[in-house]
């Protein structure tokens, strides 16, 4: 293998679907080919925690160089894998506003990640959610206050890195005040340099002071720092600003390069090349990793990517690998036991998740005028059929009368909801989803909401806290999370009134 090609390949971190790797021979062979080509690691998705552990263990055994394995585990392994413990969203932690608890949660997540072999968490989210209409950040942010985001972000970084996992502040220079989802197209942040310093940059400066090892560049145009309106992830001037004005000398990793903000505006392969030239050290999730390697290798050969740039970026990446190696071995497989229970006490972690979830609850209103018995439940959800079934199963097990569920396109209620009961428990499960373009009620849901009497209704709002704030419910509980634990704790809080 050509050394130039090998050294550029190490900066590439393709997507890795763990069930496909374990079950599909062609996919596995392709992945092993990428390892042989010298990629620096993978970003893992799908499957169970044990699928993840087995995949990592097999790949480490095949690789002749040190691989790093990354994942988005903002609120725990359950964000990407089945079988993990669900902690509150970052906005839930911000709502609870206990810095020591945020640090402890992050350390617990780090221990669970290390137990299955992961090295790198693409978290915390350091975006200040200053725009309630933001379709993709929302509850992923610690909140609307730059100071809350900065301090909880720093606490999360302390917990994560003390637990042996690389933390990553994202999405620089700030994705909070946007109305476009960068999975779909390129958002633009119209903010002056002074405005940036007061709001978006504060959490990132605090993260650098805390010693965060990596920062993710966002696919966001920022005219005040780049008049050419390049996305930050492709902008030499914005990444230079991060290095020189925030004094960050760690690893810069792009947001996923298969997202619409890059592919639609610059093309899949050219976007990867421009991202490296701009100053990113790690190129995350190209649309086609083989085409990306070819494009990067060609850029090395024709001099667009210089030897000096390769060496400088390579030193930063090698330093990160060494930090991870120094934290000890990962992914200890134990015959007959789940990987998740090998390296820590899961009971303590579940207790921690319960404590943090309870502390995240926001309660308003007074239930006194409503009947004390369990009210009939109507569920509004943007989730999959599996997610909806899970919520309904819990409600039925707890003896709640279930009227049905309504999605944006489907109404499972008898008579389409005509003749709703006088008193109602409304459960809303709406959260940000990449590529959805919005985080609110749609179609059938809006129709049914017009029939509901707020004064006779209890609202259990599991996700987006900005929903239905124009209406006054008899009693309202916001959980800031759509997890099963948040649902059960929310119901428990309602029953206690």
Q: In the beta sheet, which residues pair with residue 458?
A: 425, 475
* CA nearest to 277, candidates 232, 244, 236: 236
| Contact by Cβ (8 Å): 61, 110 | no
CA distance linking residue 457 with residue 448, whole number of Å: 13
Token pair, residue 169, equals 């502040």
String of DSSP letters for 203-252 = HHHHHHHHT-SEEEEPS-B-TTT-TT--BGGG-HHHHHHHHHTS---SEE
* CA nearest to 126, candidates 106, 108, 146: 146
Q: What are the strands, taking DSSP E only, across 41-130?
A: 41-45, 68-71, 120-121
Which listed residue (50, 98, 177, 255) is catalytic? 255
Contacts of 23 (CB under 8 A, 6+ apart): none
Vertex 97: Cα angle to 96 and 103 (nearest 5) = 100
Long-range contacts of 420-424 (CB under 8 A, 24+ apart): 420/378, 420/451, 420/452, 421/375, 421/376, 422/453, 422/456, 423/370, 423/371, 423/375, 423/376, 423/456, 423/457, 424/375, 424/376, 424/377, 424/378, 424/452, 424/453, 424/456, 424/457, 424/458
Query: What do you get for the CA distance between the two ends of the chain, in Å?
Result: 68
Residue 158 CB coordination number (10 Å): 19
For residue 29, indicate whether it is catalytic.
no
For residue 183, indicate whether it is catalytic.
yes
CA distance linking residue 482 with residue 487, whole number of Å: 7
Q: Report which secondary-structure segment, H or E, holds 16.
A: strand 15-17
CA distance linking residue 103 with residue 87, whole number of Å: 12
3-state secondary structure of 306: coil
Token match 């993840």: residue?
52
| Contact by Cβ (8 Å): 157, 210 | yes
3-state secondary structure of 126: coil
Which listed residue (183, 219, 266, 349) is catalytic? 183
Token match 């996700």: residue?
463
Query: Which of the residues are catalytic?
Result: 183, 255
């Amino acid at each position: 293998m050509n050394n130039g090609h090998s050294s550029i390949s190490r900066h590439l971190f393709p997507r890795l679907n763990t069930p496909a790797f374990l079950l599909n021979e062609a996919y596995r062979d392709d992945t092993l080919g990428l390892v042989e080509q010298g990629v620096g690691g993978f970003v893992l998705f799908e499957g169970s925690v044990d699928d993840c552990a087995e995949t990592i263990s097999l790949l480490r055994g095949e690789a002749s160089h040190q691989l790093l394995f990354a994942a988005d585990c903002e609120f725990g392994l359950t964000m990407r894998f089945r079988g993990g413990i669900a902690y509150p969203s970052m906005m839930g932690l911000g709502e609870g506003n206990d810095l020591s608890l945020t640090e402890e949660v992050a350390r617990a997540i780090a221990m669970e990640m290390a137990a299955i072999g992961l090295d790198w968490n693409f978290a915390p989210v350091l975006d200040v959610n200053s725009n309630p209409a933001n379709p993709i950040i929302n509850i992923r942010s610690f909140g609307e206050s730059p100071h809350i985001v900065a301090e909880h972000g720093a606490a999360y970084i302390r917990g994560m890195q003390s637990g042996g996992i690389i933390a990553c502040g994202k999405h620089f220079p700030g994705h909070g005040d946007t109305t476009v989802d960068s999975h779909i197209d390129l958002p633009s942040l119209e903010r002056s340099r002074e405005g940036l310093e007061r709001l978006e940059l504060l959490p990132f400066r605090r993260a650098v002071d805390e010693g965060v090892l990596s920062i993710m560049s966002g696919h966001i145009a920022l005219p005040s720092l780049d008049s050419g309106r390049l996305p930050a992830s492709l902008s030499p001037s914005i990444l230079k600003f991060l290095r020189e004005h925030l004094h960050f000398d760690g690893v810069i990793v792009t947001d996923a390069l298969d997202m619409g903000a890059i592919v639609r505006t610059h093309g899949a392969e050219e976007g990867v090349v421009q991202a490296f030239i701009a100053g990113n050290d790690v190129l995350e999730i190209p649309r086609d990793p083989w085409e990306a390697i070819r494009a990067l290798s060609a850029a090395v050969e024709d001099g667009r990517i210089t030897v000096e740039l390769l060496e400088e970026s390579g030193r930063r990446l090698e330093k990160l690998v060494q930090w991870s190696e120094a934290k000890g071995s990962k992914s200890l497989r134990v015959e007959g036991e789940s990987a998740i229970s090998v390296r820590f006490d899961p009971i303590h972690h579940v207790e921690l998740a319960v404590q943090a979830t309870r502390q995240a609850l926001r309660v308003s209103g007074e239930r006194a005028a409503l009947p004390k018995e369990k009210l009939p439940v109507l569920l509004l959800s943007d989730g999959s059929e599996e997610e909806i079934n899970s919520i309904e199963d819990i409600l039925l097990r707890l003896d709640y009368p279930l009227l049905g569920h309504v999605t944006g396109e489907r109404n499972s209620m008898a008579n389409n909801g005509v003749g709703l009961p006088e008193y109602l428990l409304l459960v809303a499960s709406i959260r940000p989803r990449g590529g959805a373009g919005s985080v609110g009620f749609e179609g059938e849901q809006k129709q049914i909401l017009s029939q509901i009497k707020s004064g006779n209704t209890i609202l259990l709002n599991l996700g987006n806290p900005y929903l239905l704030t124009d209406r006054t419910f008899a009693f309202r509980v916001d959980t800031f999370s759509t997890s099963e634990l948040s649902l059960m704790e929310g119901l428990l809080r309602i029953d206690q009134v």
